[in-house]
Amino acid sequence: MNFDLSEDRVAIRDMALDFAREKLAPHALEWDEKKHFPVDTLREAAALGMGGVYIRDDVGGSGLGRLDAALIFEALATGCPTIAAYISIHNMCAWMIDSFGSDEQRQKWLPDLCTMEKLASYCLTEPGAGSDAAALRTRAERDGDHYVLTGQKQFISGAGNPHDFYVVMARTSDDGARGVSTIVVPGGSEGLSFGANEKKMGWNAQPTRAVIFDKCRVPVANRIGPEGIGFKIAMAGLDGGRLNIAACSLGGAQAALDKAVTYMGERKAFGKTLAEFQALQFKLADMAIDLEAARTFLWRAAWALDRKSPDATRLCAMAKKFATDAGFEIANSALQLHGGYGYLNDYGIEKIVRDLRVHQILEGTNEIMRMIVARGLVGR
- Same-domain pairing of 22 and 50: yes
- Same-domain pairing of 184 and 165: yes
The confidence score (pLDDT) of residue 163 equals 74
- Same-domain pairing of 322 and 238: yes
- Same-domain pairing of 135 and 239: no
* CA 223/CA 221 separation, integer angstroms: 5
* CA 352/CA 357 separation, integer angstroms: 9
Which is nearest to 303 in space by CA: 61, 5, 59, 90?
5
Domain's final residue, options 211, 228, 245: 228
- Residue 1 maps to a domain: no
- Same-domain pairing of 273 and 366: yes
Rounded (5°) CA angle 185-191-193: 80
- Residue 2 maps to a domain: no
The confidence score (pLDDT) of residue 380 equals 63
Residues 6+ apart with CB under 8 A from 270: none
Q: Per-residue confidence at 92, pLDDT binned at 50, 70, 90?
A: very high
- Same-domain pairing of 213 and 294: no
The confidence score (pLDDT) of residue 281 equals 97
Domain count, the chain: 3
Q: pTM for the full model?
A: 0.95
Taking only the tens place, the pLDDT of each residue in 218-243 is 999 999 999 999 999 999 999 999 99
Q: What is the CATH number of the domain that holds 246?
A: 1.20.140.10
- Same-domain pairing of 263 and 371: yes
- Residue 101 maps to a domain: yes
- Same-domain pairing of 224 and 290: no
- Residue 179 maps to a domain: yes
β-strand pairing of 120-123 with 165-171:
parallel
pLDDT over threshold 80, residue 1: no
- Residue 17 maps to a domain: yes
The residues that are catalytic are 363
What is the domain range of residue 110?
7-114
Q: What is the CATH number of the domain that holds 91?
A: 1.10.540.10
- Same-domain pairing of 325 and 300: yes
